Amino acid sequence: MNHKGRLLAVWLDNNDKYTIQNHGMKTSLRSDTIIDLVLKTPTISLAPCGTLSYTGSDHLPILMELNGINLQDNNYIISKTYWKIYKNILTIINPCVQKEKEKTYQDKPSKWFTFSQQLLEALKERVTIYHQTAQQRSTLSSSLRLMLKQKHYLQIKYRHGKLEEDRIRLRSWNKLVQYELKSFRQNNWMNFISEVAFPNPTHCWKTVKRLNKKRTASFSAITENDNIYKTPEKIVNCLQNHFSSRFIAPTLNMDNSTDVLAFKLWNELSNSSHEDIELVCENSDLKFTTQDLKSIIRKMNTKNSLGFDKVSNKMVKLLPECYLTIIILDRTTTIDYQGHVSDQIVITRGAPQGSCFGPKAYIVNLFDLPQIFECPREVHLYVDDLAILYSPSIYLKYIKQTNEIQTRITTTW
């Protein structure tokens, strides 16, 4: 067994999800070792498999028969979440959750925050049902669908009759359909560009999500000052140090009177008891209640898309008031890159950084613009700004190359 084979054998021994079905089966004409493996999961019933005596290549074909597998043709899975049940269950189990916090997670704020995220995610999945549908909503307009249907009718009629009148009618109708389809694509593209250029960033990101048609290659390195990190471990450590430094207390200038007053006030609040702080708040004109916090959270956009913590805005908006401390106190975050998870980063101040980090990670991981150019000399990415250095050919006209690039952008996007 070669080096890669040993690594595969160790992986299969440590992984209980897959088993080898063709032990001792010779599948190569040039080697006695098992080159072609048949792996199956415990949920699949696989009948005995064997090789066929067909020597068209140096590998023998394997015939397998799978039992108990249902094929789904043109079926789509649609999910439906019962949000009222989600909110009611959270209210009912609140006393048990508080007891669990005092019993198990009293001195473990980071683990308590992780447990809260997992609780919300598990409850959301529990109140979600899935059903299949055999039809998906068409993106074409009803008029275009009728025109295509009429075109197919004329095609069938001409194939059967071969009349010159039907051929001319089919040709004219085909040109009309092509013109309408081209206009439809151009209108969609212009609408897309106008929505991206909209000054509201939320409106922009809802539109940019349409670009994520297929996953492109992830970034392979991070440059920090004069250092280049290429391995996943170094990339995760670099990101962890970067985001950990964001929550470090700022350096105060003791020669500045404002910094001195802020430092004294912070020390007084840190050393005071909660009763004293509540008493001061009650006698102050600047009151901030739980209802005020709830009204601020309700102003969030109702988005069902999940972030890195698998908690959506809608899940947070439907939280009862007794759960609001979960998303404010004892907050932590982790960075997961290609299966390498960083240590927990404690967020001691500021707003949750998921909304800020999400768009940056989207741009870094899912950028298609460099693929439009055949041979870009240099591609530089800084946060969400992408710069490409492209050298045009000296043998072709510049306007022709510009038109080709624009055509690639329109075709790809």
**123-133 pLDDT, tens digit each:** 898 899 887 77
pLDDT at 365: 45
Residue 23 burial class via C-beta count within 10 angstroms: exposed 0-12, middle 13-18, buried 19 and up: exposed
Name the β-bridge partners of 228.
223
pLDDT at 211: 61
Q: 3-class SS at 286?
A: coil
Q: What is the mean pLDDT of each run of 10 residues along the chain (413 residues)?
A: 72 78 75 74 66 59 62 68 90 86 78 81 88 72 88 88 89 91 87 73 66 56 82 85 75 83 78 66 62 73 70 81 68 76 72 46 49 56 51 67 67 52
Find where tokens 């055949």 sit: 374
Question: Residue 76 carries which side chain, given as an amino acid letter?
Answer: Y
Look at phi and psi of residue 242 and say left if phi exceeds 0, alpha if psi is from -120 to 50, else beta: alpha
Distance CA 378, CA 406 (A): 19
CB neighbourhood size of 58 (10 A): 11
pLDDT at 357: 47
Sign of the dihedral defined by the CA atoms of residues 400, 406, 407, 412, in that order = positive
pLDDT at 267: 78
pLDDT at 383: 45
Q: 3-class SS at 335?
A: coil
Distance CA 400, CA 129 (A): 53
Find where tokens 């005596």 sit: 53
Q: Supply the Cα-derived Rg of the chain in whole angstroms.
A: 30
- Both tokens of 402, joined, read 């510009």
- On whether the CB atoms of residues 89 and 123 are closer than 8 A, the answer is yes
- On whether the CB atoms of residues 410 and 193 are closer than 8 A, the answer is no
For the entire predicted model, the pTM comes to 0.42
pLDDT at 59: 66
Backbone angles phi, psi at 209, to 5 degrees: -60, -20
Distance CA 159, CA 164 (A): 11
pLDDT at 362: 46
Angle (CA) 257 258 264, round 5°: 90
Distance CA 325, CA 311 (A): 15
pLDDT at 300: 72
pLDDT at 1: 47
pLDDT at 64: 65
